[in-house]
Chain A
């Protein structure tokens, strides 16, 4: 049989295929006695191969599989974020997993499959493929959250994430169903092209569908008032998994939201006040609740909610420069947050730790380099120059002011002043507080050092050369307009 007539274009999916093959290879070798040790190596190999294919696809603009798969600059940039996040996550995972006695090969396979789902989400215009990618991403994440089966907290995190995730999928799918009802298509390009006639003929389905889709993604990116699962899941999941949670699914959720809101429903002005409200609530609630936490992981969970609020500001403003600044922010946030979590993971490999603030007392005296790196990441999260966090906020808020959303920018700047308090608390605890018992030594392996190096270079490099990266994000966004 001849399939050459069908416009399948398999080469578009090379990064995804690389991930799928290495994921299945890990599972296959994992059942043998000796193959158990290959999990990490095969996982890293698969991710690097996918990274190479993604770089090779850079700048192309092709569709395949009957318009279901689109590889453009936008998908390439997001694939880069997901794959970098994956590489760093599995590099910091190894020693933690060994110390907790859960170093199983399926861990790496699950991370790989989850990234595969994220990449599918970012490389399509079709809402059903977005839904499918979302599920491919989420189902491994439910397992990863509960991966430490002996730990009741991890069990609880897994079940809470599963229930909230499945609940959100229900909303999303019903929303997609209603939009399908309005236009007999799930293709965002057709919806965008015929938007005004659809809004005339069946406004109810279209608007109700858009609202339900927004609720579904609100859960996924942990926007207030759909955030209540996030702190519990972040705190209970194993620390490297939390690191992965805080960047990968969030970036994927925003990638899909950008395609849907900034492209498919771009003409729907009625959605702007809703986004406005979501952004304000997310920034205020996330930052205020982060002040009262005594667990660093939980504090970082609220901080990641607050950062989602800043990116929602970019989405509210809309348009090329605002959305591009949101993408730049996500890229910087990936490096910074993974860096902060990498250090937290290193500290959590010690016995009897629970990521409390008191556990980092006097860390600077024992580990001056690690403490300085942690301080860099905290300054960056708080948005001090010359780091990626500063320029991300600068671009987002100046874009908001330029488009007349002055109040939104003022609330954003005020809440990020509040955030300085809880980020600086970490620095104060590790530099100025004395530990009442000797600070237990931590050991570093080469992978951890490479991961720390990449994240630190990323956090500062994006801040030193912001214009290069913002141009890259602009080109990426322009590619789908």
Chain B
């Protein structure tokens, strides 16, 4: 029997995967994908809770956050493209002109 807790555990694992990926990855595209995984982990949690509580509001929230993630992807990929065309690399370790 698959219950709400299974979905929540999957969502927590996804969130942890996203955070770890964003912290240890050096490729900007990979970091960006990890961040998207974090957002989708949150979406999964919201959907599960909405189902648990029988509240339609949660389903609407997921549509909002999906739109937000899409807008963020558009801007983020644009920034990464600009950087790539200038430096020929998407390696985060190379972007260190400024440090203290």
Q: Count B-side interface residues using an 8 Å CB cutoff.
A: 45
Contacts A128-B61, A173-B39; A159 near B100 (Cβ below 8 A)? no
Q: In the complex, what distance in Å separates the CA atom of A50 from the CA atom of B75? A: 27
A166 at the interface (CB under 8 A from B): yes
Contacts A135-B72, A152-B86; A174 near B97 (Cβ below 8 A)? no
Interface set, chain A 132-190, CB cutoff 8 A to B: 132, 135, 139, 142-143, 146, 149, 152-153, 155-160, 162-163, 166-167, 169-171, 173-174, 176-178, 180-181, 184-186
Whether A159 lies near B46 (C-beta < 8 A) is no
Whether B49 lies near A181 (C-beta < 8 A) is yes
Whether B28 lies near A142 (C-beta < 8 A) is no
Q: In the complex, what distance in Å separates the CA atom of A185 from the CA atom of B55? A: 9
Q: In the complex, what distance in Å separates the CA atom of A181 from the CA atom of B7? A: 13
Interface set, chain A 278-328, CB cutoff 8 A to B: 289, 292-293, 298
Contacts of B92 in A (CB 8 A): 163
B64 at the interface (CB under 8 A from A): yes
A239 at the interface (CB under 8 A from B): no
Interface set, chain B 40-72, CB cutoff 8 A to A: 41-43, 45-46, 48-50, 52-53, 55, 57-58, 61, 64-65, 68, 71-72
Q: In the complex, what distance in Å separates the CA atom of A236 from the CA atom of B58? A: 39
Contacts of A162 in B (CB 8 A): 75-76, 79
Q: Count A-side interface residues using an 8 Å CB cutoff.
A: 42
| Nearest chain B CB to A66 CB, angstrom units | 11
Contacts of A142 in B (CB 8 A): 75-76, 79
| Nearest chain B CB to A190 CB, angstrom units | 12
| Nearest chain B CB to A206 CB, angstrom units | 12
Output the nearest chain B residue to A236 by Cβ-Cβ distance.
B98
| Nearest chain A CB to B33 CB, angstrom units | 11
User: Which one of A157, A163, A171, A289 has the highest number of Cβ atoms from chain B below 10 Å of its Cβ?
Assistant: A163
A105 at the interface (CB under 8 A from B): no
A232 at the interface (CB under 8 A from B): yes
| Nearest chain B CB to A174 CB, angstrom units | 4
Whether A167 lies near B49 (C-beta < 8 A) is no
Output the nearest chain B residue to A173 by Cβ-Cβ distance.
B42
Whether A139 lies near B31 (C-beta < 8 A) is no
Q: In the complex, what distance in Å separates the CA atom of A152 from the CA atom of B45? A: 39
| Nearest chain A CB to B97 CB, angstrom units | 6
Whether B35 lies near A166 (C-beta < 8 A) is yes
Q: In the complex, what distance in Å separates the CA atom of A128 from the CA atom of B58? A: 10
Whether A159 lies near B28 (C-beta < 8 A) is yes
| Nearest chain A CB to B19 CB, angstrom units | 8
Contacts of A167 in B (CB 8 A): 22, 35, 38
Contacts of A169 in B (CB 8 A): 35, 39, 68, 72
Q: In the complex, what distance in Å separates the CA atom of A82 from the CA atom of B15? A: 33
Number of residue pairs across A and B with beta carbons under 8 Å?
120
A412 at the interface (CB under 8 A from B): no
Contacts A166-B32, A169-B72; A159 near B42 (Cβ below 8 A)? no
Q: In the complex, what distance in Å separates the CA atom of A135 from the CA atom of B97? A: 27
| Nearest chain B CB to A207 CB, angstrom units | 15
User: Which one of A155, A177, A289 has the highest number of Cβ atoms from chain B below 10 Å of its Cβ?
Assistant: A177
Whether B42 lies near A177 (C-beta < 8 A) is yes
- Choice from A152, A163, A174, A293 contacting B28 with Cβ under 8 Å: A163
User: Which one of A139, A153, A155, A185 has the highest number of Cβ atoms from chain B below 10 Å of its Cβ?
Assistant: A155
Output the nearest chain A residue to B52 by Cβ-Cβ distance.
A181
Whether A163 lies near B82 (C-beta < 8 A) is no
Contacts of A155 in B (CB 8 A): 79, 82-83, 86-87
Q: In the complex, what distance in Å separates the CA atom of A448 from the CA atom of B68? A: 36
Whether A163 lies near B39 (C-beta < 8 A) is no
| Nearest chain A CB to B93 CB, angstrom units | 12
| Nearest chain A CB to B31 CB, angstrom units | 6
- Choice from B39, B53, B98 contacting A170 with Cβ under 8 Å: B39
Whether A180 lies near B28 (C-beta < 8 A) is no
Contacts A143-B75, A174-B15, A174-B38; A153 near B49 (Cβ below 8 A)? no
What are 12 A-B contacts with C-beta separation under 8 Å?
A128-B61, A135-B68, A139-B72, A142-B76, A152-B97, A155-B87, A157-B98, A160-B95, A162-B79, A170-B22, A174-B45, A180-B49
Question: Chain A interface (Cβ within 8 Å of chain B)?
Answer: 128, 131-132, 135, 139, 142-143, 146, 149, 152-153, 155-160, 162-163, 166-167, 169-171, 173-174, 176-178, 180-181, 184-186, 231-232, 235-236, 289, 292-293, 298
A-B contact sample (14 more), CB < 8 A, given A159-B95, A162-B76, A174-B42? A131-B65, A142-B79, A143-B75, A143-B78, A152-B87, A155-B82, A156-B97, A159-B79, A169-B39, A170-B35, A177-B49, A180-B46, A181-B52, A235-B98
